[in-house]
Amino acid sequence: MDKIGFIGVGAMGGAIAKRLIDKGFAVIAYDRNAETLMAMEAAGAEIAADVRTIADAAEIVFACLPNAEICRAVALGPDGVAGGGRVRIYVELSTIGGDAAIEIADALAARGVTLIDAPVVGGTVALINGTLGMLAAGPKDAFARAKPALEAFAGRLFYLGEKAGMAQAGKVMSNAVSYAAVLSTCEAIGVGMRAGIDLETAVAIINQGSGANFFSQQMLPATVLKCVFHGTGAIETGQKDVKLFLEEARRMGLETPMASAVSALQKRVVESDVPGRDTMTYVHFFTDLAGLPRLG
């Protein structure tokens, strides 16, 4: 079986790469974080010294990276994927927005590499549960070539069309709803606990009613209820995702009052504490507002 290249094996990328290995794919991986790479090696991946090594070794290369700037550098930089000797299909799992996806697709195409714009929907818990969504856009023939690898970790695969950027639009649409649910759920928990309801019961009450959502049903039980506040990605990542949704809407000339309010509150949360903390620490912001001791 041909090797699958994988660039960026942090919380989400690492979980996906491990799933590919578990499904029998040979994976060659690279990440700037040495500790992360050690974990991938222990999981059975071959480790590459740099991005170019990946692009020289694998016809299909996945990337799961934190922002558009890093994605551009990895795909198009002097030592990036575009100059690789073997890569022909580049699967961009990152959430980078439509403009960046189109830019990268066009630049790669000029070098004989096809982009599959393919952000994921659902997070690490969904991946573990087998319900991770995968949105994909790109030429049909390249999509068909990459499909077996995509199906190895995606619980549901949505092929949206051939145009780069379509999957990015779908992803930021989903994330705008997701973070609205996260913020409203954490706010409600803070108020409920201040009224004397314990955390577990507060979550159960939300999940009993029509306000139940993925965060309350899947994420909170797997993390916050177990006093786990790491492993789901930095809080700034969600802030970036909602900003990308706002950019998509502005490009269409559309007003988005709900997402604008979510973005403003995310900014307040990010500025309230140390940078880089996990998404699950949203709940700390609201327990602080309620005058409660921090969970965990």
Q: State the DSSP H helix or E strand holding residue 77, giving kind and residue range, or none if neither.
A: none
For residues 98 and 5, give the distance between their C-alpha atoms in angstroms, rounded to a whole number. Answer: 23
| Residues found in the chain | 296
For residues 37 and 110, give the distance between their C-alpha atoms in angstroms, rounded to a whole number. Answer: 31
Mean pLDDT of 64-70: 93
* E strand intervals along the chain: 3-7, 26-30, 46-47, 60-63, 89-92, 114-117, 120-121, 133-137, 156-161
> Does the domain made of 169-289 have the CATH classification 3.40.640.10?
no
For residues 24 and 20, give the distance between their C-alpha atoms in angstroms, rounded to a whole number. Answer: 7
Higher pLDDT, 197 or 131: 197
Which pTM does this prediction carry? 0.87
Q: For 3-164, give the CATH class.
A: alpha beta
In this structure, the dihedral spanned by the alpha carbons of residues 169, 172, 178 and 180, taken in order and rounded to 10 degrees, is -110
What is residue 33's predicted lDDT score, i.e. its pLDDT?
94
The pLDDT tens digits for 253-291 are: 999 999 999 999 999 999 999 999 999 999 999 999 999
CA-based nearest residue to 213, from 174, 242, 170, 171: 174
The pLDDT tens digits for 209-257 are: 999 999 999 999 999 999 999 888 899 999 999 999 999 999 999 999 9
For residues 243 and 172, give the distance between their C-alpha atoms in angstroms, rounded to a whole number. Answer: 9
Higher pLDDT, 160 or 125: 160
133-137 and 120-121 strand pairing:
antiparallel
Q: Answer yes or no: is pLDDT of 1 > 80.
A: no
DSSP-assigned letters across all residues of 152-208: TT-SEEEEEESSTTHHHHHHHHHHHHHHHHHHHHHHHHHHHHHTT--HHHHHHHHHH
Boundaries of every domain in the chain: 3-164, 169-289
